[in-house]
């Protein structure tokens, strides 16, 4: 009896020590991706709304040509991005910025590199009418198109009668986007004690804290969700919206979650590899030159932040019978 108690105590001590030892190696603030996304009070989630949002997300009927859906530039098969320097939209035009991922976007303080859309709901109203993206003439045109496609009953189920509006379209898409969360990254399993990461990744994990990357890329999201100066390139960032000198070259600190999937990097897509992005960041943000060995370790660490990708069944989209929709050139 006595012996059993001793053994149990011994085991407890050993496990306790092991946990302390592991915790000590994880820099302060780093942690597991949260699973509770913020949901605005005026757009509660429901299964029907998420299902409608999935259809709208994949529906090229939001674009004038009938060729571009949200998924064209934010491809959920490739990390929620198009892996283009800057995206291709209507008439094969290139926009001015790189497409950031929609994965985990529900956690960002504001949407877009310059934060000009506070919520996913605001953001989703932009692309259908953006002339270099989906290029529909106006909100009424999009609504009329969705009506002809056969969406009205689906909107009624989710929002009530006469509810096929541009605002409700954005709400449904936003609800779907709030499901695009990527848990279980190797790093998260390491933190939970259910998995391990390579030695190089562990060195990289310590290095990013040591050199100061995590002053901006902090916490479980690996971003403090703030807007800071990034004195690089010709895009003026937040200043292009506010006109204020203080906002010159100010951009949102990008999350490191899934960053290994989203090359090329930065708002202008100018860094073609993750290693290059890491080197530039150290130089521009921290006035530090990293050795190639340190860069490799940091890249190994960043790669451990790729989580489980959402598994989505491509939805069947409503369409009229025996006639195509009225696409525009
Ligand atoms: C033609 C390509 C293209 C299409 C189509 C497109 N987007 Fe985007 N998206 C972009 C680009 C480029 C940006 C960054 C623009 C900026 O910051 O100025 C962006 C930004 C975003 C963001 C902000 C993410 C962040 O990290 O700030 C979200 C969310 C998003 N798009 C969702 C959507 C949804 C929903 C649709 C469909 C209604 C859509 N996009 C259609 C290219 C596209
Ligand atoms: C002063 C704040 C700050 C510090 C310190 C910082 N970053 Fe960043 N990081 C940013 C901002 C802001 C962006 C967005 C840049 C843009 O708009 O193109 C960014 C973007 C990135 C990107 C590209 C993400 C993408 O999706 O394109 C990587 C990779 C990155 N940082 C890694 C690092 C590393 C590694 C360090 C340390 C060596 C570091 N950062 C230090 C603010 C910071």
Q: Phi-psi category of 183—alpha, beta or left, where left has phi over 0 and alpha has psi -120 to 50? A: beta
70, 106, 132, 171: which to mutate for ligand 1, most atoms within 8 A of CB?
A: 70
Q: How far is the CA of 323 from the centre of ligand 1 (A)?
A: 30
Nearest partner of 238 among 73, 59, 113, judged by Cα: 113
Q: What confidence tier does 329 reach under pLDDT thresholds 50, 70, 90?
A: confident
Pocket test for ligand 1, best of 57, 100, 132, 166 (most atoms within 8 A of CB): 100
Q: Which atom of ligand 2 is nearest to the CA of 266?
A: 18
Which of these, 54, 320, 325, 46, lies nearest to 160 by C-alpha position? 46
Predicted local confidence at residue 22, as pLDDT? 52
Same fold across 47-177 and 186-303: yes
Q: What is the helix (H) or strand (E) element at residue 46, kind and residue range?
A: none
Q: Give the Cα separation of 305 and 33 in Å (integer).
A: 9
Q: Find out whether the peptide bond into 264 is cis, omega within 30 degrees of 0.
A: yes
Residues with C-beta less than 6 Å from any ligand 1 atom: 62, 68, 70, 72-74, 87, 89, 95, 97, 99-100, 102, 105, 108, 111-114, 120, 123-124, 127-128, 133-134, 173
- So which residues are the catalytic ones? 133
Q: Which residues contact 43 (CB under 8 A, 6 or more apart)?
A: 121, 171, 174, 175
Tell the CATH topology of 47-177: Cytochrome Bc1 Complex; Chain D, domain 2 (1.10.760)
Cβ atoms of 255 and 222 closer than 8 Å: yes
Task: Report DSSP letters for 144-183, one per residue.
Answer: HHHHHHT-HHHHHHHH-TT---HHHHHHHHHHHHTT----
Instruction: Tell me the domain boundaries of the chain.
Output: 47-177, 186-303
Predicted TM-score of the model (pTM): 0.94
Report the distance separating Cα 62 and Cα 68, nearest Å.
7
Torsion of CA 315, 255, 242, 82, to 10 degrees: -40
Of all atoms in ligand 2, which is nearest to the CA of residue 269?
Answer: 27
Mention the CATH class of domain 186-303: mainly alpha
Shortest-distance ligand to the CA of residue 250:
2
Q: What is the tens place of the pLDDT at every residue in 198-254? A: 999 999 999 999 999 999 999 999 999 999 999 999 999 999 999 999 999 999 999
Task: Give 11-59 pLDDT, tens digit per residue.
Answer: 334 444 444 445 448 999 999 999 999 999 999 999 999 999 999 999 9
């Amino acid at each position: 009896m006595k012996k059993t108690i001793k053994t149990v105590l011994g085991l407890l001590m050993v496990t306790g020590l092991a946990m302390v030892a592991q915790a000590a190696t994880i820099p302060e603030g780093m942690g597991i991706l949260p699973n509770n996304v913020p949901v605005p009070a005026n757009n509660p989630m429901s299964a029907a709304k998420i299902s409608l949002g999935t259809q709208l997300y994949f529906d090229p009927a939001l674009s004038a040509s009938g060729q571009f859906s949200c998924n064209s530039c934010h491809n959920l098969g490739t990390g929620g991005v198009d892996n283009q320097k800057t995206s291709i939209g209507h008439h094969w035009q290139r926009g001015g910025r790189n497409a950031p991922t929609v994965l985990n976007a529900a956690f960002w303080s504001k949407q877009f590199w310059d934060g000009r859309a506070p919520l996913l709901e605001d953001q989703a109203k932009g692309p259908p009418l953006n002339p270099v993206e989906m290029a529909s003439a106006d909100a009424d045109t999009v609504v009329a198109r969705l009506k002809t496609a056969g969406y009205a009953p689906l909107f009624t189920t989710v929002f009530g009668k006469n509810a096929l509006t541009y605002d409700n379209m954005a709400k449904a898409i936003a609800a779907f986007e709030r499901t695009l969360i990527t848990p279980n990254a190797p790093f998260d399993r390491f933190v939970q004690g259910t998995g391990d990461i390579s030695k190089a990744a562990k060195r990289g994990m310590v290095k990013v804290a040591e050199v100061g990357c995590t002053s901006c890329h902090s916490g479980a999201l690996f971003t403090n969700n703030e807007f800071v100066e990034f004195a690089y390139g010709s895009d003026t960032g937040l200043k292009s919206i506010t006109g204020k000198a203080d906002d010159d070259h100010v951009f949102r600190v990008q999350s490191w979650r899934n960053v290994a999937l989203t090359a090329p990097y930065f708002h202008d897509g100018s860094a073609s590899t993750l290693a290059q992005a890491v080197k530039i960041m150290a130089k521009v943000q921290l006035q530090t030159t990293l050795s190639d060995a340190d860069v490799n370790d940091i890249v190994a660490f960043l790669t451990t932040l790729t989580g489980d990708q959402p598994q989505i069944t491509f939805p069947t989209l409503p369409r009229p019978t025996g006639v195509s929709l009225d696409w525009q050139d």
